[in-house]
Structure 1
Amino acid sequence: MHFSLFLDIFNFIGIFVFAISGAMRGVRAGLDIFGIVVLAVVTAVSGGIVRDVLIGAIPPQSIRDWHGIALAVVAGLLVFFFHRLFERMQYPVLLFDAAGLGLFAVTGTQKALDYGLAPEMAAVLGMISGIGGGIVRDVLTAQVPVVLRGDIYASAALLGAILLLGGDWLQLPAWLSLLLGASCTFVLRTLSIYRHWTLPHPR
């Protein structure tokens, strides 16, 4: 499989799971069908739009290509009609969010590298790609963004980005570096949810 196709698949999966997390938050907030779909879309594409603007990929991919937004709309409608099915999963919003976090962290890092950014800044852009949608989702539903509450969130995204860079430095296959980074971000974020791990708070 060509690497660019593999990267696109990762990106579309990230859009889909982030859209589900946004739509589920909309259901819990009591929004109507329009509000749920809007929340699904902005959760799915906000991080990528910020990343693209910062690296000079204008217009952003989510605006240039309609497929991502269409996929987010489909995810939002699925949640609206079948939200009871999604609710049967424990912590559904957080788990889908963790999956999107990992996928966007590595695809964002890789795209920043492709645009010539230094590895350190590419990792920062990858982290921003991962956390941007969650921040917008939380703000629109009147919650303090999870990234500001001491949760292991942005740090998990940064870990995934660093692991992708490490795989690139070790000359691992690119698809393997992407998979490794996304998986480790997802595992760390999920463990922090179930084990209640947080970053230090002031005494």
Structure 2
Amino acid sequence: MPPELLPVFAPWFDLAGLAVFAASGALAAARRAQTMVTLAFFAIITGVGGGTVRDLLIGAPVFWVHDSRAAGVCLTVALVIWMTPERWWRGAALDWFDAIGLAAYAVYGAAKALRYGVPPLPAALMGVVTACVGGVIRDVVAGEPSIIMRPELYVTAAALAAALFVGLTLLGAPAAVAATLAALAGFALRAAAIRFRLALPAYRGRR
């Protein structure tokens, strides 16, 4: 992928994913009537968790350690949730925001991995790691069943976005076009899963 094109869309995809996942982390604490400190902690570990694992695996500097905007976004989101009434965050609204963040972060993670010379298949997997690991950490710390242990199309949507971005890039598509199409495809699949309760078939063992 031409590295000069990455900065065109990367900051927006990165910040979108950070904000949405930080919100889901803060809400996990808010729904248990926790303190502002706990909300901030959950926002940070959820927002930066996937990107941290990705950067460690691809040998990149851990992004939020070198860029204060990441922690700033997470803390701001936690503060907003802390100061707003619970009724604002009920219903499926957060699921739709999460779908946006999932697709954006999957594309961003794959793009960064390619930029650091990771081969195509592992780069796509790094997109999935970026999009999903923060939520896994949130669920483990909160003592909830992890999203990856449910059959609904969640990780699959991240995989579609990341794989499509890598595939389009290999075919020579401009990075901005590849990123936009891949993110839209990932979001569309996740949105369909939310709207129509789509799920993968579960393992039933031998019969």
**For 1:19, which of 22, 46, 54 is the aligned residue?**
22
Q: Which amino acid is the alignment partner of residue 53 of structure 2? A: V
| Kept in 1: contact 2:103–2:161 (CA 8 A) | yes
Distance of 2:26 and 2:150 partners within structure 1 = 22
Matches of 1:2 and 1:76, distance apart in 2:
32
For residues 103-152 of structure 1, what are the alpha-carbon distances to aligned partners after superposition, in whole Å with 9 as ceiling and x for unaligned?
11000000000010110110011101110111011112111111111221
- 1:46 paired residue number: 49
How far apart are the structure 1 equivalents of 2:168 and 2:86?
A: 40
2:13 corresponds to which residue?
A: 10
CA contact (8 A) 1:97 1:134 kept: no
Q: Quick one: which amino acid aligns to residue 149 of structure 1?
A: R
What is aligned with 1:68? 70
Instruction: Say whether 1:55 aligns with 2:58.
Output: yes
> Partner residue of 1:91?
92
- The TM-score with structure 2 as length reference comes to 0.90
Superposition deviation, residue 179 in structure 1:
1.5
- Give the counterpart of 2:83 among 81, 84, 100: 81
* Counterpart Cα distance in 2 of 1:83 and 1:68: 25
Q: 1:34 maps to which residue?
A: 37
1:79 and 1:86 in contact (8 A); partners too:
no
Aligned partners of 1:81, 1:37: CA distance in 2, in Å?
12
Deviation of the 1:32 alpha carbon: 1.7
Counterparts of 1:131-142 in structure 2 under 5 Å? 131-142=132-143
CA distance in 1, matches of 2:41, 2:106: 22
For residue 172 of structure 1, report the CA deviation from its aligned partner.
Answer: 2.2
Q: Aligned pair in 2 of structure 1 residues 141, 188: CA closer, same or farther (>3 Å)?
A: same
Residue 21 of structure 2 aligns to a residue whose secondary structure is helix
Stretches of structure 2 that go unaligned for 5 or more consecutive residues are none
The 5-angstrom pairing of residues 136-175 of structure 1 reads: 136-175=137-176
> How many Å apart are 1:83 and its aligned residue?
4.2
Measure, in 1, the Cα distance between the counterparts of 2:8 and 2:98.
23
Could you tell me how far apart the structure 2 residues matched to 1:105 and 1:63 are?
Answer: 20
Structure 2 CA distance, aligned partners of 1:147 and 1:178? 24
User: What's the RMSD between the two structures over aligned residues?
Assistant: 1.7
Deviation for aligned residue 1:53: 0.1
Using the alignment, how far apart are the partners of 2:25 and 2:97 within structure 1? 9
Distance 2:144 2:155 in 1: 17
Contact 2:107/2:182, CA 8 A, preserved across alignment: yes
Taking structure 1 as the reference length, the TM-score comes to: 0.92
Compare 135-144 and 76-85 and name the one that shifted more.
76-85
